[in-house]
Chains A and B, each alone.
Chain A
Amino acid sequence: RKEVEQDPGPFNVPEGATVAFNCTYSNSASQSFFWYRQDCRKEPKLLMSVYSSGNEDGRFTAQLNRASQYISLLIRDSKLSDSATYLCVVGRIYNQGGKLIFGQGTELSVKP
C-alpha cells in the first residue's frame, strides 16, 4: 500500500466548477502536509501548506483531519489555468533533517 494515496483522475470539469481532491496517508508520524501543483513537463511547485484548522488561499481551501489521516483540497470557480496535476504531500522530520513523501498526483483538466 502506498504511504500517500490519491485518486489519479483525470478530473475533467467545466470552467467555473468546484472540484475536490482527497488524499489519505498511512503513517501517523507524519508532521506536515502540503499540496503541490505540477504543470505538464515541469517541476512540482508548492501550492499551499495544510493545517489542522483548515486554511484558504483565494479560491483554494485545504483541510486536514489527523484522526482520519485525510487531506483535502477544494478549488472553487475553476479556471483554465488550474489545469495541472495536484500532488498530496506529507512530511516527516527525523535525524537532522526531514523528507517529503508524495502521492502519485491527481490530474485536473478544466475545459471551456
Chain B
Amino acid sequence: DVKVTQSSRYLVKRTGEKVFLECVQDMDHENMFWYRQDPGLGLRLIYFSYDVKMKEKGDIPEGYSVSREKKERFSLILESASTNQTSMYLCASSLTGLGYTFGSGTRLTVV
C-alpha cells in the first residue's frame, strides 16, 4: 500500500512564524498535492507538483509556497503564518494525478 506521511499531526505556531509542513510518499509517485480543509468550504487545492522541482498553483496559493527537491518529498511553506491559515492541511500523492492517497493530515493552529 502507498504510504503518505505527514510529519506532524498537530501543530501550534505563532503569527508571523515561518512554518514548514512536510509530506513524504514511498511509492515513487510523480504527482503530489497540498490541500486545506475548512468547515463549510471542503478541500481546496493550494499547490501541486507533477515532477521534481515543478510546481503549479492551485486555487488558493496566496500566503503559501512549496518545495519539491526530491520526488518523494513535497513541502508546504507558510512564509509568515496568519490566524486565517489555521486549518487542516492534507497532503496527497498519485501516480496518474487522479487516484489519490492522502496523508493523515496536519491540524495547524496559528495563535
Contacts and interface: CB of A to CB of B under 8 A. Distances in A.
Interface residues of B, number: 26
SS class of chain B's interface: helix, strand, loop or mixed? loop
A99 B48 contact: yes
Contacts, number: 59
SS class of chain A's interface: helix, strand, loop or mixed? strand
A43 B97 contact: no
A44 interface: yes
Interface residues of A, number: 22
A26 B50 CA distance: 25
Most buried by B among A8, A44, A101: A44
Interface string B63-102: 0000000000000000000000000001000101111101
- 8 smallest CB-CB distances across A and B, nearest first, come from A98-B97, A97-B50, A104-B42, A43-B102, A97-B97, A102-B43, A91-B98, A97-B31
